[in-house]
Every structure is written in structure tokens, then in C-alpha cells.
Amino acid sequence: MDEVIRRRIRFHGLVQGVGFRYRARHAASAVGATGWVRNDPDGSVAMEIQGTEAQIDRVIRMIERGMYVRVERMEQKTIPTEPDERGFETRSGYDW
């Protein structure tokens, strides 16, 4: 079985007002990843996602295929996993 990891990702580009968070939640649920996504005040979208490398890559590809979504840049870092987390949610607030 592949190792479960957690990534904090910030997406820049045309990522707000284009269904990005809906797509992220739908894609993560479809592949079995957990975490959250939110819009930030600088126009970027922040996400923490937990799953295997393959699951996370698949979610990102699914988001980027979205009509109107244009990811110009991503900042990623691996962070500690949250073993008790269940599901993937849309959040509000800006506590990056």
C-alpha cells in the first residue's frame, strides 16, 4: 500500500470565482483524499490534501481540467498527516 502524505498547496492564477473549490471537493471525494480548500484574500486558493501521491496528483489534474480554471503557479510543501481526518471540506477564513 502506498504511503499517505499531506500537502499544503497554494494555487495562483484564475482560481477564484471559477468553481475551483467545488471541483477540488468533488475530485478529492472521488479519489478518497481528505482535507480542505478555501479562497484567500490575495486571490489565491489554499488547500490541504491528504492521500497517496497518486491520489493528490489525480486531484490536481482533475481541478486543472476545469473549464475557466487556469493555474499559473503552485506552491507546495509536505506537512504532517492528520490520521483522524475524514472527508474533504470547503472552508472560509484566511489563517494560512
Catalytic residue annotation: 21, 39
Distances (CA, A) of 76 to 7, 8, 18, 38: 7, 6, 21, 15
**Residue in the structure block whose three cell numbers are 482560481:** 15
Cα 52 from Cα 44, distance rounded (Å): 24
Core vs surface per residue 55-70: b (16+ CB within 10 A) or e: bbebbbebbbebeebe
